[in-house]
Amino acid sequence: MVGTPPVSIAPMMEKTDRHYRYFVRRITRSTLLYTEMVTASAIVHGDRDYLLGFDESEHPISLQLGGDDPHELASAIRIAEEYGYDEYNLNVGCPSDRVQNGRFGACLMARPERVRDLIAAMRAVTTRPVTVKHRIGIDGRESYDDLLEFVDTVHGAEPSRFTVHARIAVLSGLSPKENRSVPPLRYEDVYRLKRERPHLQIEINGHIETLAQIEDHLCRVDGVMIGRAAYDNPWLLADVDARFFGSDPCSRSTRREVVEQMIPYLERWYAAGWPARNVVRHMLGLFAFQPGTRRFKQVLSGPEVNTDPVGVMRRAIRDIRPEVLDA
Ligand SMILES: Cc1cc2nc3c(=O)[nH]c(=O)nc-3n(C[C@H](O)[C@H](O)[C@H](O)COP(=O)(O)O)c2cc1C
């Protein structure tokens, strides 16, 4: 069993792609980053470099997989091994119709033995940690006892970590977005799980937005996964390395340095023919809650970004106060 990093950034489709991860790595060097969910079938049949490529600086990085076929998941991991991921994670939390039609994601919570077998198949082809991300339940299996039964069964395959989104997923009647806010948060169930199964590595997830909240959760569980707050306000992570990973507080970059570091990266992708917007869209939240954030977003979202991305980036920070840029 490996340890659990105190803080991680959640897998988020269309958000935690390689450009976001490169960007956020300029802000926190130690936080564990997850990819977006990639289906095992896409890896087996699709464009591997596009789906799996990442920059060395993104380590530590966990590849999140979706699927319900043990052979396909094992094949996907064999392929992914060449890319050097630090961990693999199985998605048992997504409630979308597309995912349900594929019989994976959150609906797998109704089939704990299947999840155990999937984890076993994944573990059989890698020496890297294999972890699972799931909900506290789904409609019809919502009690703490159902959660415990799920975890105890899946533990049969010894995943290295259970990441628990502290709400149930309602599989019929709620959209994926509603499923991230409507079912009530039940942190206490996750704390109880850790109390009753202290030998398991438990990471908590769901609406955690401040460093003080992270600190509080860490008194009760092994790790904290942050999703939307890390995307919408990435500077939230600026103090994470010093506060939770023990690194030197003076070694962190300023926002100006982060922007400067993104420029050669942007130039590289732009020169290779990629739309600059694919990179800069992840930076829109860099000045969240600061004076000038609106103007920064406006400039970065303007039409010139795809013709003069570096000029746009420099113009975007022109009106930001030095005490914010260099803090
Ligand atoms: C836009 C978006 C996409 C998401 N995509 C995934 C995904 O691919 N895999 C997954 O396990 N969870 C996904 N999630 C759920 C998050 O990983 C996380 O569990 C959820 O947002 C709750 O954490 P938060 O309240 O800190 O955002 C997604 C969430 C959002 C907002």
- Across the range 26-44, mean pLDDT stands at 97
Residue nearest atom 29 in ligand 1 by C-alpha distance: 12
Q: Any idea what the CATH number is for the domain that residue 303 is in?
A: 1.20.120.1460
Distance 85 CA to ligand 1 centre (A): 20
Does 261 share its domain with 307? yes
Please tell me the predicted confidence (pLDDT) of residue 102. 81
In a domain, 112, yes or no: yes
pLDDT class of 1 with cuts at 50, 70, 90? very low
Q: Under a CB-based contact definition with an 8 Å cutoff, are residues 90 and 119 in contact?
A: yes
Does 44 share its domain with 116? yes
pLDDT digits (tens, 9 = 90+) for 134-192: 999 999 999 999 999 999 999 999 999 999 999 999 998 899 999 999 999 999 999 99
Catalytic residue among 94, 107, 219, 250: 94
Q: Under a CB-based contact definition with an 8 Å cutoff, are residues 93 and 165 in contact?
A: yes
Q: Under a CB-based contact definition with an 8 Å cutoff, are residues 41 and 260 in contact?
A: no
Spatial CA neighbour of 323 closest among 298, 292, 301: 292
Residue nearest atom 25 in ligand 1 by C-alpha distance: 207
Regarding the beta carbon of 167 and ligand 1, being less than 6 Å apart is answered no
Angle between helices 255-271 and 309-316 (to 10 degrees): 170
- Across the range 295-301, mean pLDDT stands at 95
Regarding the beta carbon of 163 and ligand 1, being less than 6 Å apart is answered no
Regarding the beta carbon of 91 and ligand 1, being less than 6 Å apart is answered yes
Domain that holds residue 104: 7-246
- Across the range 70-80, mean pLDDT stands at 98
- Across the range 250-256, mean pLDDT stands at 92
Distance 227 CA to ligand 1 centre (A): 6
Which residue from 9, 13, 90, 134 has its CB within 8 A of the most atoms of ligand 1, so it is best to mutate?
13
Residue nearest atom 13 in ligand 1 by C-alpha distance: 12
State residue 313 phi and psi, 5-degree precision: -60, -45
Distance 16 CA to ligand 1 centre (A): 10
Total structural domains within the chain: 2
Q: Any idea what the CATH number is for the domain that residue 60 is in?
A: 3.20.20.70
pTM for this structure? 0.97
Does 212 share its domain with 273? no
Instruction: List, as one string, the DSSP characters of 21-68.
Output: HHHHHTT-SSSEEEEEEEEHHHHHHS-HHHHH---GGG-SEEEEEE-S
Q: Under a CB-based contact definition with an 8 Å cutoff, are residues 138 and 107 in contact?
A: yes
Q: Which atom of ligand 1 is nearest to the CA of 230?
A: 26
Does 286 share its domain with 185? no
**Is 107 one of the annotated active-site residues of the chain?**
no
Does 286 share its domain with 176? no
In a domain, 1, yes or no: no
Please tell me the predicted confidence (pLDDT) of residue 146. 98
In a domain, 2, yes or no: no
Regarding the beta carbon of 67 and ligand 1, being less than 6 Å apart is answered no
Residue with tokens 């060449």: 82
In a domain, 208, yes or no: yes
